[in-house]
Amino acid sequence: MPVRTRTIRTERLVLRQFSEEDAPVAYDNWMSDPDVTEFLTWSPHRSSYESCRIVRSWIRSYPQGSMDWCITVLPGPEPVGSITAVQDHPDEGYCELGFCIAKKHWNKGLMTEALRAVAEYIFVNTDYMWIQTRYDKENEASGRCQEKAGFKSVGEVLLPNPKDADAMRTYVMMRVDRPKTLR
Ligand SMILES: CC(C)(COP(=O)(O)OP(=O)(O)OC[C@H]1O[C@@H](n2cnc3c(N)ncnc32)[C@H](O)[C@@H]1OP(=O)(O)O)[C@@H](O)C(=O)NCCC(=O)NCCS
């Protein structure tokens, strides 16, 4: 598969591939922050070594067509977050996006901007018919951000908490369909 994580520019952001130098800054900016990971499937990294390992694995996957963007805010180039196709199903014509951004940049509309741009990029550059997201029902900021980016709720699912198999969490499933102009 060709490289699919190509640079995307928006009014305030550059979304680009991760490089190895990003890892220690990513650790400081969001990967070590328990407030960022509260509703995520992973726990805060305990050392920048852990961040290095995950960033390296993303870099190794680019040639296989993975979609893993590093978010930078202009003028950059500091990494401040990520937006990723956490599930990718080319044969079924859809993917699911996951994303996070450093706390110092919350509530400025930046993830809405990133999510819209990545959805547009995917519809233009692939033949995917829809893009899926989800959020923990208590993570209202994420729900709001997804709605602002054009995603609509398609239902709720009760799933085990990825960090505590004995507890259940309610997730809202969201999706945006390929625009008619691109069909
Ligand atoms: C969720 C997250 C990605 C949102 O990013 P962001 O750049 O702050 O999002 P935006 O600024 O584009 O939009 C956030 C919206 O949520 C609203 N919001 C913030 N906190 C809220 C809360 N506790 N309850 C309800 N709405 C809230 C903001 O006011 C804003 O809406 P508005 O523009 O109508 O005022 C970011 O908070 C984050 O990285 N969180 C940790 C990781 C995470 O939860 N990722 C998503 C997993 S599904």
Q: Is residue 174 in a domain?
A: no
**Is any atom of ligand 1 closer than 6 Å to the C-beta of 109?**
yes
Residue 60 maps to which CATH number?
3.40.630.30
Q: Is residue 20 in a domain?
A: yes
Q: Is residue 63 in a domain?
A: yes
**pLDDT reported for residue 180:** 94
Q: Is residue 151 in a domain?
A: no
**pLDDT reported for residue 28:** 98
Q: Is residue 41 in a domain?
A: yes
Domain with 128, as residue range(s), is: 8-132
Ligand 1 mean position, distance from CA 1 (Å): 33
Tell me the two tokens of residue 128: 């995917």
Q: Is residue 127 in a domain?
A: yes
Tell me the two tokens of residue 97: 């996006």
Domain count, the chain: 1
Mean pLDDT of 41-56: 97
Chain segment 159-168, per-residue pLDDT in tens: 999 988 889 9
Chain segment 72-120, per-residue pLDDT in tens: 999 989 999 999 999 999 999 999 999 999 999 999 999 999 999 999 9
Q: Is residue 149 in a domain?
A: no
Contacts of 116 (CB under 8 A, 6+ apart): 10, 149, 150
**Is any atom of ligand 1 closer than 6 Å to the C-beta of 102?**
no
Ligand 1 mean position, distance from CA 33 (Å): 16
- Helix ranges (H only) for 73-170 are 110-125, 140-148
